[in-house]
Amino acid sequence: MARRPNDPQRRERIVDATLETIATHGINAVTHRKIATCADVPLGSMTYYFDGIEALLGEAFRTFTDRMSEEYTAFFADVTNTTEACDAVAEIIFSSQVTTPKNMTLMYQLYALASSTPSMKAIMQNWMKRSQQTLAQWFDPTTARALDAFIEGMTLHFVTDRQPLTREDIRSMVGRIAGEKLR
């Protein structure tokens, strides 16, 4: 049997396939076999790169939250003051860039898993900390936490609500949390 060519991206493909498998089948249906099939790698690669399914899920969710944090931070790239930061917060919630069906499914799955798995809870906490650190560039720590919680909650509401709020309504609510005077 011929040996497969060197595959330096195999580990990364496995991680990406894990996220795809979670998004497609749900966390409870994830197996090494489904991931290997999705990644188009031999089943043995799963245990070669990862010490078990929990390690693989941890790496996949760390990758997901890292990517989400990069996207989140990008919304603030040109922000120079709190008014612009409030605009960016509203845009995060309203933007379909963040609230893709796949992203939302992965968030729901991570929330569920974090409630019962300490290592996943730590991933969630680190993600929250990064978000709050980004916000803390323009807001005091308490306001940054409040805005982070608002973003989390409103993002979930925005994609599931039968009548989502308008961009203007969301921006107004962000401003109230941030202490802006009503216009």
Q: 122-154 pLDDT, tens per residue? A: 999 999 999 999 999 999 999 999 999 999 999
Please write the tens of the pLDDT for every residue from 27-66. 999 999 999 999 999 998 888 999 999 999 999 999 999 9
**Mean of the pLDDT values across residues 93-113?**
91
Q: What is the dihedral of CA 177, 180, 181, 183, to 10 degrees?
A: -100
What whole-number distance in Å separates Cα of residue 60 and Cα of residue 22? 10
What whole-number distance in Å separates Cα of residue 7 and Cα of residue 39? 12
Please write the tens of the pLDDT for every residue from 74-92. 999 999 999 999 999 999 9
Q: Give the pLDDT confidence score for residue 99 in this predicted structure.
A: 86
In CATH, the number for domain 7-50 is: 1.10.10.60
What whole-number distance in Å separates Cα of residue 106 and Cα of residue 120? 13
128 Cβ contact list (under 8 Å, min separation 6):
148
> What is the domain class of 61-178 according to CATH?
mainly alpha
Of residues 14 and 95, more confidence is placed in 14
User: CATH 1.10.357.10 in the chain, residues?
Assistant: 61-178
Helix 167-178 to helix 82-94 angle, to the nearest 10 degrees?
Answer: 140
